[in-house]
Chain A
Amino acid sequence: MSKKLLSGPYIVWMVGFTLIPLALIVFYGLTDKAGAFTLENIMAIAQPERLNALLRSLKLSLVSTAICLVLAYPLAMILKSLKVGRGSFIVFIFILPMWMNFLLRTMAWQTLLDHNGVINNILRFFNLPELKIINTQAAIIFGMVYNFLPFMVLPIYNVLVKIGDDTVEAARDLGANSVQTFFRVILPLSMPGVISGITMVFVPALTTFVISDLLGGGMILLIGNVIEQEFTFTTNWNLGSGLSLVLMVFILISMAILAKYDKEGEGAAF
């Protein structure tokens, strides 16, 4: 018996429940209700309301990805400098929040950020200006950063801990100062993790419909909300699939970039 046969169930499963379903999205997206070929479902993205939703999603997800990167890189450096192992308590603390239901955590921010919420009460106590971000795009960015930050920290951390001290010391011995060491040695070596983190934050941020629902007060539509509504309210699957195909173009671009920079899968988060 060949050992390769052990992969059989997995291959059958992936073909049946990953490849065929994806093929169905392509099929529905490129046909009308009668089953005839059409590009209308894809062209439907040009309608102003949908186009605005897509542009808004792109803007918010790019901004939140950038904020995540700026927050996560120093964090990963600090975690590495603590010289504690992968399964250690401190790293564990940064992963743990991911395991409380994210809908509830996001909702809790709704309460905390509210005009009369805890944060504004504290700010008022110190006579500081109040935060007025709930139900705005800023609140959605806040929610994205909150929910996806661990996905940026973990891959960067995983790559950073693999960079040996001897590499850094060699750079210093050869006369590089700490800024040069960072930009010419550490940063280039950590690129697989950075790219992996960027895709792992960008893709869910671009496609979310829950965060905009909870923190945007239901008034700010993202492309995820538009697609979700096509499937749950108007049940126009062809249109919904067509719009998903447009979305998948962006996902594929990020996957291609990741594949180019992270060939060995070094930047994997888990």
Chain B
Amino acid sequence: MIGRFFKRFYLATIFVFLYAPIAALMVLSFNSSKYMSKWTGFSLTWYEQLFSSELIMSALRNTLVIALLSALIATVIGTAACLGINHMKKVPRTLMMGMNNIPLMNADIVTGISLMLCFIAFGVSLGFGTVLIAHITFNIPYVVLSVMPKVKQTEKSTYEAALDLGASPLKAFFKVVFPDILPGVLSGFLLAFTMSLDDFIITHFTKGAGINTLSTLIYSEVRKGIKPSLYALSTILFLAVLILLVIGNLPKKKNHEAIKER
């Protein structure tokens, strides 16, 4: 069938468009030449250099620590916020969700600049801490977006039943409510983690001079001529994230099937 062929062809074209640069980077990470335009033979030099480069390793450490911490803190603050918002009346609830949209809809450059101005105006010196705060700030809205639908679905009566049966509010929460919202919390955490990992613009404005994440390191190296070690690292990271996302998608899928079965 022509329609079917066209669909396949269109999907394949977009697929190539999306993955061509990723494939190019992966191939170039094994190139023995340091220039992007010539293939001079297979080599693992860049992978060896990667692990001996203190510059790259410290940027990687910063990136991972900031992504992990900011995602964790954002998940706690965001999940608590959802539970609170769920008990609000319509007007404050709309107001809160509107506020939640500001960092999501705002341009990254404006968010970055505004945070930088704020830190400097209040005499906070730019560094690890300011990047962490900035990342938590843009991560919370993603957590709220992921957790809010799950919180809305929870039944008040089951929580109340647990209380009637003698559970403390905290125990009732962790035994009854938390398992219900857990898929949302997990996907919110993963979304926040990956958003933090990929961010460049906001980090660029809030990082100060002494610290680099992978994104800012790449950006500063683009001008000097980038080292293929960074392709090697991004190849490893891409595969790692791929695995992370596969794991992250598993509970979602089960949940989906559960709904179908009903």
Contact = CB atoms under 8 A, between A and B. Distances in A.
A208 B200 CA distance: 11
Given A97-B19, A98-B198, A203-B107, A13 B113 contact: no
A21 B114 contact: yes
B234 A102 contact: no
A228 B107 CA distance: 13
B214 interface: yes
A3 B84 contact: yes
B37 A7 contact: no
Q: Which label, helix, strand, loop or mixed, suits the secondary structure of the B interface?
A: helix
15 contacts: A13-B77, A14-B102, A17-B134, A21-B111, A81-B7, A87-B253, A92-B249, A94-B18, A101-B215, A105-B21, A107-B218, A107-B226, A247-B107, A251-B110, A255-B101
A83 interface: no
A209 B109 contact: yes
A241 B215 CA distance: 24
A209 B22 CA distance: 22
Contact of B96 (A7, A75, A146): A7
B14 interface: yes
B230 interface: yes
Contact of B110 (A103, A112, A248): A248
Contacts of B14: 71, 75, 94, 149
B83 A3 contact: yes
B146 interface: yes
A109 B256 contact: no
Contacts of B109: 207-209, 224, 227-228, 244, 247
B62 interface: no
Contact of B36 (A90, A111, A231): A111
Interface string B90-107: 000000110111110111
A177 interface: no
B108 interface: yes
A18 B102 contact: yes
A10 interface: yes
A25 B108 contact: no
B106 A251 contact: yes
Given A207-B108, A251-B105, A265-B97, 6 more contacts: A85-B253, A100-B234, A210-B201, A213-B222, A244-B110, A270-B146
Given A87-B253, A100-B234, A10 B18 contact: no
